[in-house]
Amino acid sequence: MKQFNYAFLFITALTPSIHAQVKDAANNLKHEAEVMGKAFIDEDYTTFAKYTYPKLVQAMGGTAKYKETLGQAKSQLASQGMTITKISVDEPSKVVKSGTEVQSTIPQHTEIKMRQGRPTVTSTLIAISRDNGVTWTFLDTSNKDMTLIRKLLPNLSKDITIPPPQQPVHYND
């Protein structure tokens, strides 16, 4: 009976620690997604690339090429009269373990200033951490089908769900 009591006490003592670790991981995830969004707005593509899922950066030709592509994309938007003015995120989904990674998703809202108003586009970021939620990298699921996502993220948990794309919300101001 004493062994049971000790085991129960041990498990009970660990439970708050496990919940705190999951909460810390989710807080870190949200914070790092915010830092990534700010880096894009500030044209700090070095920081932005740091938070981008490494296999995507590799698929784009490496960090230098990826940063160049980001700059070109932002310039192309500007030439069409569009500017990304704000990137924000909501709360992440449940953090799940998959092999050596912890994973989650987080909704991201991108506000674009245009000549004819201000649309806000909502997308889903897949968040991946290889150090139990201390640091995170992200993959935006916009314009990517599940075949490409699974190719880039072969260890993606079956518990991770990607909501269907949403129509942009358009504000006239």
pLDDT value of position 85 = 94
Number of domains in the chain: 1
Measured CA to CA, the distance from residue 55 to residue 112 in angstroms comes to: 27
**pLDDT classification of 11: cutoffs 50, 70, 90:** low
Number of Cβ within a 10 Å radius of residue 111: 18
3-class SS of residue 2: helix
Burial (Cβ within 10 Å: 0-12, 13-18, ≥19) of residue 116 = exposed
126-169, pLDDT tens digit by residue?
999 999 999 999 999 998 888 888 888 999 999 998 988 888 88
The encoded tokens of residue 147 equal 């075949």
We report the CATH number of the domain holding residue 80 as 3.10.450.100
Q: Encode pLDDT of 35-86 as tens digits.
A: 999 999 999 999 999 999 999 999 999 999 999 999 999 999 999 999 999 9
Q: Rounded to an integer, what is the distance from CA 95 to the centroid of its chain?
A: 12
Output the CA–CA distances (angstroms, integers) from residue 15 to 9, 10, 19, 20, in the order listed: 10, 9, 6, 9
Q: What is the pTM of this model?
A: 0.84
Contact of 103 with 157, CB cutoff 8 Å: yes
- Looking at residue 24, its pLDDT comes to 81
Three-state DSSP state, 100: coil
**Domain residues for 7?**
2-171
